[in-house]
Structure 1
Amino acid sequence: MTTPAPAQVPGDTAPPPAAPPGPGAGPAPSVFETLESEVRGYCRGWPTVFDRARGSRLVDEDGRAFLDFFAGAGSLNYGHNNAVLKRALLNHLERDGITHGLDMSTTAKRRFLETFRDLVLRPRGLPYKVMFPGPTGTNAVEAALKLARKVKSRPGIVSFTNAFHGMSLGALAVTGNAAKRAGAGVPLVHTAPMPFDGYHGADASEPFAYFERMLDDPGSGLDRPAAAIVETVQGEGGINVARPEWLRGLADLCERQDMLLIVDDIQMGCGRTGGFFSFEEAGIVPDIVTVSKSISGYGLPMSLCLFREELDIWEPGEHNGTFRGNNPAFVTATAALHTYWADDALEKQTRLRGEQVRAGLLAIAAEHPEAVVAVRGRGLAWGVQMREAGAAGRAARRAFDHGLLVETSGPHSEVVKLLPALTISPADLDEGLRLLACSVREALREPLG
């Protein structure tokens, strides 16, 4: 398939050709290298220029196709340019539907709220109000922390080891990764880290005994926090999966200790682990939930902060943002809910696809028992932890060479992380797993250095 050349705009003139490089010179640097900030990251691991995408495939400007096991870091649960969502978006734009709306009432917002209430909240018995805090996940986290502190009139927040909650200052304060925290440039205060499930080993008994003793001891130095914030599956932290009983224990502790429970479902929500919310399996009802990434369904910026009705003590305009009313995102989000969440078919399919991935990764682990530490995941979020420093990164680079996009995660980038679209076919999953197995094999043969 070739992409047609763009039509020339009247008045446009082609720029003069660049002068050829001098003798012995390498290729001229691209505009990405000369103009874009050094902060860019993913393009360094995937050195090509992507041009178009559909489903679970991206194509670069040279026509080379890549199988996507990344899904926009979990923002494209329904694949690239999903046809149903695209048609809904085009219809909205063609009728001059509202695009920018701040927090004004619009037809697109009303349809989303009604659909979200009827297909997501009511069937699960979730008593939540819906807040649109801004376009990104870190906006939702900031709103959640701010609301918890306002409700409890206490500044402290408990977070967990290897957590990741965003890159703005409040979200960084509850993030565990040292390199990301160091970028803040100022002290990150009013938070206290506690061990995530399994941090002290699989046999750790009474995981909250130390935490609760500190809360009850007036000499511990730990002021009573307003809330605890947790991911049920830590994506950036290395696909660390909290057990349902651990999550229930945390919810019980928060209730006993007059703390709010915030679940960050930004990457693991919207069906990534099977159910629409990742905490459903544990049977808990958090006080506050943050949602973003795949809530729009199409990769459009959108986030939600959900909370119990009695917590809705905001004053009008007390927390706002220019782009909190992204109406095109409301349109695609509504279409995604109608298409995939009117019944439990996608949830069942995700669990089946997850078993397919698990089997493929366990085969890789069995082939390299000395190199693979663990395989872990839920639904369609999986990770392969490598023993040797650098092995996961080499495997990801080899995968790119073979036309497969995967990233790494974990505090030492020691985990090969898989986030394929929930709509991926079994055949594409098998192909990607074969490419990954080949990539791991080749990475482990590379000399160290």
Structure 2
Amino acid sequence: MTTQLRVLRPSEWNEWFGNLELAFGGVVADSPEERELWEALTEHERSIGIWDGPDVVGTAGAFSFRLAVPGGALVPAAGVTMVSVAATHRRRGLLTSMMRRQLDDVRALGEPLAVLTASEPAIYGRFGYGSATRQMSLEIDTDRVRLAVPDGTDEVRLRYAKPDEATAACEGVYERLVAGRPGTPAHGPGWERRALIDPASARRGASPLQCLLAERAGEVVGYSTFRIKPDWDTAGPKGRIAVDDLSALDPAAYAALWRFLFEIDLTSTVEARNRPVDDAVLHLVSDVRRCDIKLRDSLYVRLVELGAALEARAYRASVDVVLEVEDAFCPWNAGRWRLTADTKGGASCKRTDDPADLALSVRELGSVYLGGESLVSLARAGRVQELRAGAVAEASSAFSGMVEPWLPRGF
């Protein structure tokens, strides 16, 4: 087999994307509008493919994001996407060669981080990606669960809006919340269109997308987008509400949006498939056991330039620790690094010859980078080795976050 790995040419996009669709079962874009959007969002200079003669047999791309990290900084990050290998060419090293080329390119661009969501969690650990955020799904029985809302909820004005006409207002709320939630990407132009793609084929019998705005003194302070799927049985209506997004700038607006969803006529279930693990709605409901909570992995983080990445985030406690880092795939990160930081926002991570306090791989650093996973937990699993007594607890306290990291919108 003779293959060629190179940058995608714009004229080749349809064939390139077609290979991706075939690898994922035949359908990635549910409508011509969605396909057109993905083509418009594709950064061709950051997209690579592998050709076997005239045929595309491998794809990988990246979006240019800025990712919120602990402390509120927005750090340049490559949003790895559209990765596929043709079924006819598996186990031949194609994925490894694309990951090698991509991470070299990310480093050349000066981006300290690469992030992705994995179709299968076992794939990317060998390339140094660590599971860094989780998402919570809820399926709430609104016939039995009630909400206890805070003062001021009744003062919030709610109104329907057409999704396309409300895009600017919704994006304004999203942008104000980005820095406060590690793992949230700040998108570039064009990404606001992603939320508007609403093909009938993807609704599974539910309504077109609906949008609700929360306002106070004429200002939009929150929004929710959702669909309603009517259903009936011999006892009466039992419709379902599928929450696509819900965000608000203050507790009253947040509660008002949830209360509205709970009280929609002819429905008995509210489901939300992607919420943060520490979502405040868990403290509003009367019976959390009837919310059918499930957790799953979400965003994976890869430190591409280890020193720059660790210096870019803030730390919750002062720390002075020497890390012995293993990184076979990006060997420029391997070796000993002294991380020093205080609670005022200053951090330094430099190479050192001093004795190591902790030994771990870059994958574990990716997992704890956003503050959602614990070095203590990883050490108990044998994935972090403590070389100085007390070092795990000290470093774990420093890396911990005020809020759970979360990826609110996929890419």
User: Which TM-score applies when normalising by structure 1?
Assistant: 0.23
Between 1 and 2, higher relative CO (CA 8 Å, sep ≥ 6) is seen in 1
